[in-house]
Amino acid sequence: MSSSERIPSVRQLVMSSDRAILDVLDLTLELTARSLRAEHPALDEHTHRDCGEPPLTHEALAASIVILAGSMRAVIAGYCDCLDHILGDREDDPPY
């Protein structure tokens, strides 16, 4: 999704001003998950350790945050989809 598609239009903000903070939260959650994956590459692997040891506490917490961030982003997307359905589809702002 490009940054222009992520930013709510003026019309969308007039109809539902909560979109602004929800889009900022969505972006923050995405960046958080990406930074945790960069710091802990094992998060993308299905097995944590060959010897069967449980993941370290900080790795387990990072994995939990990544999972919860994804769930929260799905909730935000669903909420915005509902707004689009209730208030009308997105119309791009007129050029100035």
Burial of 62 (0-12, 13-18, 19+ CB in 10 A): buried
Q: Is position 13 within any domain? A: no
Please report the pLDDT score of residue 54 as a whole number.
66
Q: Is position 72 within any domain? A: yes
Poorest-pLDDT segment among 30-34, 48-52, 81-85: 48-52
The pLDDT mean for the chain works out to: 83
Please report the pLDDT score of residue 22 as a whole number.
94
pLDDT in tens, 10-44: 888 888 999 999 999 999 999 999 999 999 998 88
Q: Is position 58 within any domain? A: yes
Instruction: Report the number of secondary-structure helices (H) and strands (E) in the chain.
Output: 4, 0
Domain housing 75: 18-87
Q: Say how many domains are in the chain.
A: 1
Residue 93 predicted with pLDDT over 90? no
